[in-house]
Amino acid sequence: MNIITSLYENYLLKQVSGSSAKIPGHVSLVLSEKDISQPNGFVKLKEYITWCSQLNIRIASIYVDVLDTEEELRSEMVERLVEKLAEFLPELPYDIGFEVYSDEGELCLEREDEKMLVYVSVGFGGRKEVTEAVLSILSDVRDGKLDSSSIVEETIESRLKVKHEPDIFIRSGGKHLSDFLIWQAVYSELYFTDVNWHNMRKLDILRIIRDFQKRQRRFGK
């Protein structure tokens, strides 16, 4: 990092930390499997999580969009990505906890958190998540464990994998959003950046947070 970049990063950090507006507590990021399957993809992911931790972001949720449509190829890709995550996530500082879900919503890897929690979903999108939650509720109604008249929004929310609403949703590379956290992110702020994932720097995250702090959130109003 050259001196100009370093000075600008420090300038942004002072703006963010000195603002009366809060830093987002939960930041979501959407990536493709190509983003992190490149040589430095997982290194960049580790850097990103570290930056979030340094900025006192409490929750980071990350969706890896697996694009292969053939079931066999998709399953192989998901398995490889989960194996790679199992290698590098335990290397994070121990006060950073994590939960990793496969494309079927299976909890593959977890560690309790003390300072920060990282959710990583490998191909398990929002439509699957909500469908699974609804099917779980219907099963309980059928078995007499739940009265259908008592079903409210909170009933569905209690069955979701990620129970925290993102403050801001980031999509790198200027691409479209996925269906990740479609229930939880209904009032989230959206941020599209043209910066390619492999070129993402801490100052880019600081810019996003500064932009978030300047926004007036309406929560659908």
pLDDT of residue 27: 96
116-139 average pLDDT score: 93
What would the two tokens of residue 38 be? 């490149």
Tens-place pLDDT, residues 68-120: 667 778 888 899 999 999 999 999 999 999 999 999 999 999 999 889 999 99
pLDDT of residue 193: 86
62-70 average pLDDT score: 82
**Residues 80, 136: contact at Cβ < 8 Å?**
no
42-58 average pLDDT score: 93
**Residues 174, 197: contact at Cβ < 8 Å?**
no
For the chain, domains (ranges, CATH) are: 25-124+165-220 (3.40.1180.10), 125-160 (no CATH)
Q: Which one-letter amino acid corresponds to residue 141? A: V
**Residues 58, 25: contact at Cβ < 8 Å?**
yes
**40 — pLDDT class (breaks 50, 70, 90):** confident
Residue 220 has pLDDT above 70, yes or no: no
198-214 average pLDDT score: 92
| pTM (two decimals) | 0.89
Tens-place pLDDT, residues 137-196: 999 999 999 998 899 999 999 999 998 999 999 987 656 667 889 999 888 999 988 888
190-218 average pLDDT score: 88
208-218 average pLDDT score: 85
pLDDT of residue 173: 67
pLDDT of residue 68: 65
Of 5 and 111, the one with more pLDDT? 111
